[in-house]
Amino acid sequence: MFNSVLIANRGEIALRIARTCREMGLRTIAVYSTPDRDSPVVRFADEAVHIGPAAIRHSYLNIPAIIEAGKATGAEAIHPGYGFLSEDPDFAEICEMEGLTFIGPPPGLIAQFGDKAEARKLMAEAGLPVLPGSERALESTEARELADAIGFPVILKACAGGGGRGLSVVHSLRDFPQAYRNARATANAAFNDGRVYLERFVENARHIEIQVLCDNHGNVLHLGERDCSVQRRHQKLVEETPAPGLAPDLAGRMAAGAMEAARRLGYRGLGTFEFLVDELGRFYFMEINCRIQVEHPVTEMVTGLDLVREQIRVAGGLPASVSQSDISLRGVAIECRLNAEDPEKGFTPTPGTLTEFVPPAGPFIRTDSHATTGYTIPAEYDSLLAKIVSWGPDRQQALNRMTRALGELRVSGPGIRTTLTFIEEVITHPAYQDGKHTTALVQKLISERKER
Amino acid sequence: MNDAENLAHQLVTLLRQLPETPTRIRVQQGSNSLEVEWPDTATGPARPAPATEALDAPDDGAERMECVRAPMIGTFYRAAKPGAPPFVEEGAEVVAGQQVGVIESMKLMTPIETKCSGIVRRILVPDATSVEYDHPLIEIAMEG
């Protein structure tokens, strides 16, 4: 087991990881870009290294600078957080070559699952159901023929995509050629890899994911599911566990399928198996995320486990701290993401300085945030400002606590808008209150807003 | 000519034709890829390798000082190799584009050049010091 961890990330997740490292007695090293020099994690960490300017390819994606920072500070391990280099197999491999423990799955697994078309094929072979679609990247003509055979709507996905990026839904054969060209161009620009594949698109779906944890001692655990159906343009806004209103054995069958696949493929570390559930209650594998996820706190609230601690233990060669029979899922946890975006203006980001930031607190509320009064939200990075998490012994209490917490939250500053009121509308919407919401809910809400 | 010589030759020819100095070139021979990275002028404080920045200028007519800063995290060396004479000493006269140090980062040596001409007033970090991005290295009193 190592004694020091460099955190190759920023924002709320860097601070969240640093907190667990401190609790575990590990020396923590933060890295930061120029506009993040006053970020709380820089003050919190034992050491902090300025690695580059604002542009992420010169800072948070700058592998030589991060490795150099690790060596200069004597770091023994690197935690990549989410986004940035967290699922870059080259980075994981370079860390290992340089003698730094990468806190995540081995590079070979990341590469395998990083190709989403390949992951789909592997999972189908491992016995998980997948939506009708392609087993590999497709050229224009074969893609059009396959789409026509499957039936519209279909969804085009970047092979190198993930995290809800590089997706485009096509509703008719007539629109297909243009949509295919756009999807390729977008994939090329975003991931430097223009390959795309396709699947049937499920319009009113539930997005359910299973959290797994695999150590190097043969233990394969599942930590329950998360419902992430509240999405805008494939970006999650509200997540909860357990998933409300599913058929009694459905989540259990999905978890069993995920564990079986994880076992067969020799998965290591913390991972998330994402599924779609259609209106008839059939589930389909979508992708695997080889990282800690933004929405991990809801799982922590119902399991009592610190997932970052488990990740660190497993990377350090220790077994998971619990066995499957020790894990009991208690109550209901909900997470709302507060973004510095203006819902009235198409959710455009609103950078600026916070003149007031008072996070909610009180019974059974957790706020993960790097924001404080006086904090300046940089224009260069994503707009996630805070994650507010509530817990209750049942869904109604968890919802009541969340409603109360969102009412307490105070955030303002010149030019700054947030998604707060939009989130409040989501969780008070009858479909959400009844646990009958699907991935179509947010679009419905936006249309209802326009009619007012 | 073998493949490697041929490639090197082509690269030199290409470099001569480039309109400005790139900050990085990546060449791959199998399937022939070539990536050129240009000085990044669009991203605020980003600086190409020859980094020089004005310090807070004194307004009493004193010397105008500029600072050579680290363009990357790494280890700053004052000389090309151990035992070799330093690129510059305090009091030396330098011209824009002259090498004043070197930074080793991931086993790669990046020459550090001054963007302005003048007199070296102070060397701010000792030889073989680990420096972060944007760290001030050498103070130069500008000419004129």
DSSP string covering A98-121: TT-EESSS-HHHHHHHHSHHHHHH
Tell me the β-bridge partners of A208. Answer: A227, A275
Both tokens of residue A9?
């990330």
Interface of B with A in 70-129 (CB under 8 A): 72-75, 105-106, 108
Please tell me whether residues B28 and B84 are part of one structural domain: no
* Predicted pLDDT at A437: 94
d(CA A36, CA A14): 12
Please tell me whether residues B27 and B94 are part of one structural domain: no
Both tokens of residue A120?
């789909």
d(CA A386, CA A339): 7
State chain A's mean pLDDT as an integer: 95
Strands (E), chain B: 24-28, 33-37, 52-54, 65-69, 74-77, 93-94, 99-105, 108-113, 118-123, 129-131, 136-142
Pairing outcome for strands B108-113 and B99-105: antiparallel
Please tell me whether residues B59 and B130 are part of one structural domain: yes
* Predicted pLDDT at A355: 97
Residue B94 within any structural domain of the chain: yes
Residue B133 in contact with partner chain A when CB distance is under 8 A: yes
pLDDT digits (tens, 9 = 90+) for A348-368: 999 999 999 999 999 999 999
> In which domain, by residue range, is B8 found?
3-37
- Orientation of helix A140-150 relative to helix A176-191, angle to 10°: 120
pLDDT digits (tens, 9 = 90+) for A264-313: 999 999 999 999 999 999 999 999 999 999 999 999 999 999 999 999 99
d(CA A313, CA A315): 6
* Predicted pLDDT at B139: 96
List, in sequence order, the alpha helices (H) in A217-340. Answer: 250-265, 296-303, 307-315
| Under 8 Å between Cβ of A225 and A242 | yes
Handedness of CA A96, A3, A13, A71 (dihedral sign): negative
* Predicted pLDDT at B124: 96
- Orientation of helix A11-23 relative to helix A307-315, angle to 10°: 70
When CB atoms are compared, the residue of A50, A55, A64 closest to B134 is A50
d(CA A212, CA A110): 15
List, for chain B, all residue ranges whose pLDDT scores fall below the cut of 50: 1, 41-51, 56-58
Please tell me whether residues B130 and B81 are part of one structural domain: yes
pLDDT digits (tens, 9 = 90+) for A315-345: 999 999 999 999 999 999 999 999 999 999 9
Whether A55 sits inside 8 A of B46 (CB atoms) is: yes
Rounded alpha-carbon distances, angstroms, from residue B81 to A222, B76, B87, B120, B128: 55, 12, 10, 21, 10
* Predicted pLDDT at B47: 38
Please tell me whether residues B63 and B119 are part of one structural domain: yes
| Under 8 Å between Cβ of A195 and A160 | yes
Please tell me whether residues B69 and B13 are part of one structural domain: no
Q: How far is A101 from chain B (nearest CA, A)?
A: 17
Residue B45 within any structural domain of the chain: no
Residue B33 in contact with partner chain A when CB distance is under 8 A: no
Q: What percent of chain A lies above the pLDDT cut of 90?
A: 91
* Predicted pLDDT at A291: 97
Please tell me whether residues B19 and B56 are part of one structural domain: no
Collect all residues with Cβ–Cβ distance below 8 Å to A210 and sequence separation of at least 6: A222, A224, A225, A251, A254, A255, A258, A272, A273, A275
pLDDT digits (tens, 9 = 90+) for A363-381: 999 999 999 999 999 999 9
SS3 A23: helix
Residue B116 within any structural domain of the chain: yes
Whether B132 sits inside 8 A of A49 (CB atoms) is: yes
Whether A64 sits inside 8 A of B106 (CB atoms) is: yes
The residue behind tokens 């430097």 is A192
Residue B44 in contact with partner chain A when CB distance is under 8 A: yes
pLDDT band at A263 (very low <50, low <70, confident <90, very high): very high
Residue B46 within any structural domain of the chain: no
pLDDT digits (tens, 9 = 90+) for A56-95: 999 999 999 999 999 999 999 999 999 999 999 999 999 9
Please tell me whether residues B22 and B58 are part of one structural domain: no
Please tell me whether residues B32 and B66 are part of one structural domain: no
Tell me which residues of A are annotated as active site: 291
Mean pLDDT to the nearest integer, A9-14:
98
> For residue B89, what is the domain's CATH number?
2.40.50.100
Domains of chain A in start order, with CATH, are: 4-103 (3.40.50.20), 132-200 (3.30.1490.20), 206-451 (3.30.470.20)
Residue B91 within any structural domain of the chain: yes
Residue B17 within any structural domain of the chain: yes
Handedness of CA A182, A187, A188, A190 (dihedral sign): positive
* Predicted pLDDT at B57: 46
Residue B42 within any structural domain of the chain: no
Domain count, chain B: 2
Please tell me whether residues B137 and B67 are part of one structural domain: yes
* Predicted pLDDT at A452: 73
Both tokens of residue B124?
């701010």
Whether A34 sits inside 8 A of B134 (CB atoms) is: yes
pLDDT greater than 60 at residue A149: yes
Residue B75 within any structural domain of the chain: yes
Please tell me whether residues B27 and B65 are part of one structural domain: no
Q: How far is A370 from chain B (nearest CA, A)?
A: 23
Please tell me whether residues B130 and B69 are part of one structural domain: yes
Collect all residues with Cβ–Cβ distance below 8 Å to A234 and sequence separation of at least 6: A164, A165, A167
Pairing outcome for strands A77-79 and A4-7: parallel
pLDDT digits (tens, 9 = 90+) for A211-258: 999 999 999 999 999 999 999 988 999 999 999 999 889 999 999 999
